[in-house]
């Protein structure tokens, strides 16, 4: 069964304190892994797509990496405006349904 697990559920960081969020997945075959950011009262906003193990994508203070079993979202020197819930989703080889994790709620304290 296709499954996505994110950890930790919540993370509090001091401004400038780097850390990583984890997304572990089980799929029969991976077509793509997607990272989203969700702010309160808004819909998830697309950040990155990763397609194959070893691939990396960067955007400002965020870097996403992918292995055959998991993905990490590394946050370098975070700022308070990085506070949000980060969701990952996988798209298996079969079908067109995305499977979402339950997210990591990130709070960056000034």
CB of 106 to other proteins, least distance (A): 16
- Indicate the DSSP class of residue 32: E
CB of 52 to other proteins, least distance (A): 11
Six-digit token pair at 58? 């960067």
Phi and psi at 59, nearest 5°, equal -155, 110
Helices and strands in the chain: count of H runs, count of E runs: 0, 11
Closer to other proteins by CB, 19 or 49: give it.
Answer: 49
Q: Which residues bind other proteins (CB under 8 A)?
A: 31-32, 34, 36, 41-46, 49, 51, 87, 89, 91, 95-98, 100-103
Closer to other proteins by CB, 37 or 82: give it.
Answer: 37
Closer to other proteins by CB, 18 or 97: give it.
Answer: 97
CB of 14 to other proteins, least distance (A): 26
C-alpha count within 13 angstroms, C-beta hemisphere, residue 88: 26
With CA atoms as reference, report the closest residue to 101 among 24, 19, 20, 10.
24
């Amino acid at each position: 069964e296709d499954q996505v697990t994110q950890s930790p559920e919540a993370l509090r960081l001091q401004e400038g304190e780097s850390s990583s969020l984890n997304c572990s997945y089980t799929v029969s075959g991976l077509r793509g892994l997607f990272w989203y950011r969700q702010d309160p009262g808004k819909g998830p906003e697309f950040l990155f797509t990763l397609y194959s193990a070893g691939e990396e994508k960067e955007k400002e203070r965020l870097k996403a990496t992918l292995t055959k079993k998991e993905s990490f979202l590394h946050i370098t020197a975070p700022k308070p405006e990085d506070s949000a819930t980060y969701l990952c989703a996988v798209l298996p080889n079969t079908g067109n349904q995305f499977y979402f994790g339950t997210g990591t709620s990130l709070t960056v304290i000034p």
